[in-house]
Amino acid sequence: MKDIDARTPSLAFLGLGWIGRNRMEALAASGRARIAGLADPDPQAVEAAAEAARGHGAEPSGQGATLDDLLGLRPDGVVIATPSALHAAQSIAALQAGAAVFCQKPLGRDAAETRAVIEAARRADRLLASDLSYRHTAAMQALAAEVRSGALGEIQAVDLTFHNAYGPDKPWFRDRARSGGGCLIDLGVHMVDLALWLLDWPAIACRSAHLRAGGAPLDAEGRAVEDFALATLETGAGVPVRLACSWNLPAGCDAVIRLEIWGSEGGAAFANIGGSFFDFEAHRHDGCNRTELAAPPDDWGGRAALDWLERLAAGQRYDPACERLADVAAALDAIYAAAGQGQA
């Protein structure tokens, strides 16, 4: 197992669809990494990514189709953006080969898979992170500062919403075996992560949950996944956390993404603007008054990956903070179980 280059880590990228290529470009543009290799089953995706990397002054050292092709280059880190069913096994293989891992969410299709990846990172003493990117928006950072300062007083409730009026365009998203679930594990994971992170990782239980597919209750025995989910969670201190998420809901705009939090001394909200997937604002609420905390422009898309890269470049190895990913996965498992789906 080689030591990490503490100056300019070499990175390999597995999965070069829109999100994988976007993260590759953000990391290449930073000038903080060398592009060791690119891999995707689609050779056209590999070539397009290579051309994009060259546009940022980064020449990939190798190209291929599989994780093995990349691991042969002995990169310091691997960035994974493949279908969800592959995340856990690919992350574990990369960690066991001595590479740090930055993986798209979900890290695993359930808490058991997620814990297995975390244990592999611990054993390998390698940095592990997942792309829970909304934490890194300026709007969410401003809202978090308001919560953590105590300015909202005693937190009384949290409301979470993520509706995507388009829904995913790849068939594997709608196959339970390959995705682990539908809109809940695709979109709800972001909102549950934000709530637990803001509230400093409380114990949490699911009090009720409803999952639907095509307007009907989700078949527990089938391969289909939910396109609409409602759940009520509750922290150990009794704070209710309500979640609604969906694909293809007639929302009247591209997306509705919103987190509202209410305390005894005020409230705050994080919300997308005009149906955008990229523009967010945050406000503090006092009675009928609203005070802006943050607003666009904010180029946040690659910020979670850049945070991982900066820590990797500094020589950081296993970070116990990654164990919180299992807490998020367990909360999703609890929602699936409460809706009669068992574990995802």
What Cα–Cα distance (Å) separates residue 106 from each residue in 179, 269, 305, 340? Answer: 9, 25, 15, 21
User: What's the pTM value of the predicted model, to 2 decimals?
Assistant: 0.95
Q: Are 46 and 113 in contact (CB under 8 A)?
A: no
Mean pLDDT of 321-336: 98
The confidence score (pLDDT) of residue 344 equals 37
- CA dist 105 and 12 (Å) reads 18
Domains, the chain, with CATH or none:
10-130+302-318 (3.40.50.720), 134-300 (3.30.360.10)
pLDDT exceeds cutoff 60 at 1: no
Query: Residue 231 in 3-state DSSP?
Result: strand
Dihedral pair phi/psi, residue 317, rounded to 5°: -110, -135
The confidence score (pLDDT) of residue 286 equals 97
Closest CA to 185 of 246, 141, 275: 246
The confidence score (pLDDT) of residue 342 equals 59
Report the chain's mean pLDDT, rounded to a whole number. 95
**pLDDT class for 40, splitting at 50, 70, 90?**
very high
Per-residue pLDDT of 256-269, as tens digits, reads 999 999 999 999 99
The confidence score (pLDDT) of residue 3 equals 43
pLDDT exceeds cutoff 60 at 179: yes
Beta bridge partners of 11: 35, 77
Per-residue pLDDT of 69-122, as tens digits, reads 999 999 999 999 999 999 999 999 999 999 999 999 999 999 999 999 999 999
What Cα–Cα distance (Å) separates residue 61 from each residue in 66, 184, 292? Answer: 15, 38, 46
Residue 83 CB neighbour total at 10 angstroms: 17
pLDDT exceeds cutoff 70 at 6: no
